[in-house]
Amino acid sequence: MTSAPELVAIVPAGGAGTRLWPLSRRSRPKFLLDLLGTGRTLLQDTADRLAPLTGPDGLLVVTGTAHAAAVADQLPQLAGDGAANLLTEPSPRDSMAAIGLAAAVVEHRHGPTVVGSFAADHVVPEPGGFHDAVRTAVEAARAGYVTTIGIAATGPSTAFGYVRRGAPLEGVPGAYAVASFVEKPDEDTARGYLATGEYSWNAGMFVARTDVLLGHLTRHQPTLEAGLREIAAAWDTPAREEVLARVWPGLTKIAIDHAIAEPVAAEGGVAVVPGAFSWDDVGDWDALGGLLPADEAGAHTLAAATSAGDNGAARPTTAGPLLAIDSPDAVIASDGGAVAVLGLPGVVVVRTGDAVLVVHRDHAQRVKAVVDALAAGGRPDLL
């Protein structure tokens, strides 16, 4: 057993990313893409953001077999002693199995440790406030709470669940008991939430001691906990594949929100640290447009790289001119050729080697309908 970092960050890297089609695809989901044109993918940016909190050895990524090689390419630091910090799931069993496996592996390696789960494909433009919030959450976690980071809502979004805070936590300034988690509301309900000043968005960031997390799991999902412990014990041994093949497919498929956050909140065991940083889950092309700077024509353009180069960084490309004429607030992304938009404010145009998407930003949430139509039309190559 080796000494643990102060915080081990667990990053589940999955998702189909259909709302950012055609740039994101089954074979290259959102987290593998350099969506901001910075030269770093969202996954790399997530690792960069967590590094000051975890140190060089405190990042652990859980991904599927389809993306393990790409993740290893983009984050060579995970390799350590033979890919020690890249856990590959044989098949998706939802977030509790993914995060629980990582927590169990960490505890088996290091003993009780504070871990935090963070999505691989979110954007935090100014990480300072994020770091402050996580450090506060780590304190609350040490005190025995499963602690979530609440995202300051910028509007009555219906795309997120909400977390309602209760009384301040004694001894941990900036942290509060969680009164309840609530599912994605309708817009009127969301407005009501915001009016109270007690609600934040739930971005699925949970910080907890592994012994606390797995302890809750023992009570609420005992067979899942037992299975994860068995796999974790075998993980760093030659028995890993045999145990995984036997145990993993039978694990209960459940989200961490339902397995832990909601029942433990009802017991008074969950805390929230309301964050004071801007955050975006880049949920669709409209959201991405809001994150890309406006060019002189008022358009938001991305000369996109869709594959990683030798060093894991996004490959530089020479996308043709991305030209907006009389089209303020247009969002234009291309991984190669030129794009010209004329007289269409707020339009989204995305060009890849094999596809073009055109939609208004107001309809960006509906892009999944295109992916569904392509699937129904027998074009799996385009998904």
Sites for a second copy among residues 335-354 (CB under 8 A)? 336-344, 347, 349, 351-354
Q: Is there binding between residue 357 and a second copy (CB under 8 A)?
A: yes
Q: Report the C-alpha gap between 29 and 176 in whole angstroms.
A: 35
Q: Report the C-alpha gap between 130 and 145 in whole angstroms.
A: 19
How, if at all, do strands 176-182 and 270-274 pair? antiparallel
Q: Is there binding between residue 358 and a second copy (CB under 8 A)?
A: yes
Closest to 157 measured CA to CA, from 135, 130, 189: 189
Stretch near a second copy under the rule CB under 8 A, chosen from 42-50, 112-120, 204-212, 333-341: 333-341
Q: Report the C-alpha gap between 138 and 124 in whole angstroms.
A: 19
Of 266 and 356, the one with the shorter C-beta distance to a second copy is 356
Sites for a second copy among residues 2-31 (CB under 8 A)? 22
Minimum distance from residue 23 beta carbon to a second copy (Å): 13
Sites for a second copy among residues 179-238 (CB under 8 A)? none
The H or E element containing residue 370 is helix 367-376
Contact 134, 260 (CB under 8 A): no
Q: Give the list of residues 6+ apart from residue 267 with CB closer than 8 angstroms, or none.
A: none
How, if at all, do strands 300-303 and 322-325 pair? unpaired
Minimum distance from residue 341 beta carbon to a second copy (Å): 5
Stretch near a second copy under the rule CB under 8 A, chosen from 134-142, 189-197, 256-264, 321-329: 321-329
Q: Is there binding between residue 268 and a second copy (CB under 8 A)?
A: no
Contact 33, 24 (CB under 8 A): yes
Q: Is there binding between residue 375 and a second copy (CB under 8 A)?
A: no
Contact 86, 79 (CB under 8 A): yes
Minimum distance from residue 315 beta carbon to a second copy (Å): 19
Stretch near a second copy under the rule CB under 8 A, chosen from 94-102, 152-160, 257-265, 355-363: 355-363
Q: Is there binding between residue 366 and a second copy (CB under 8 A)?
A: yes
**Count of chain residues binding a second copy (CB under 8 A):** 38
Q: Is there binding between residue 298 and a second copy (CB under 8 A)?
A: no
Stretch near a second copy under the rule CB under 8 A, chosen from 96-104, 258-266, 268-276, 332-340: 332-340
Q: Give the list of residues 6+ apart from residue 69 with CB closer than 8 angstroms, or none.
A: none
Neighbours of 336 (CB within 10 A): 15
Q: Is there binding between residue 382 and a second copy (CB under 8 A)?
A: yes
Q: Is there binding between residue 323 and a second copy (CB under 8 A)?
A: yes
Closest to 150 measured CA to CA, from 172, 170, 180, 125: 180
Stretch near a second copy under the rule CB under 8 A, chosen from 65-73, 164-172, 274-282, 375-383: 375-383
Q: Which of 69, 152, 369, 375 binds a second copy (CB under 8 A)?
A: 369
Of 129 and 336, the one with the shorter C-beta distance to a second copy is 336
Residue 274, burial from CB neighbour count under 10 angstroms (0-12, 13-18, 19+): buried
Site residues (vs a second copy, CB under 8 A): 22, 320-321, 323, 325, 334, 336-344, 347, 349, 351-360, 362-363, 366-367, 369-370, 373-374, 377, 379, 382
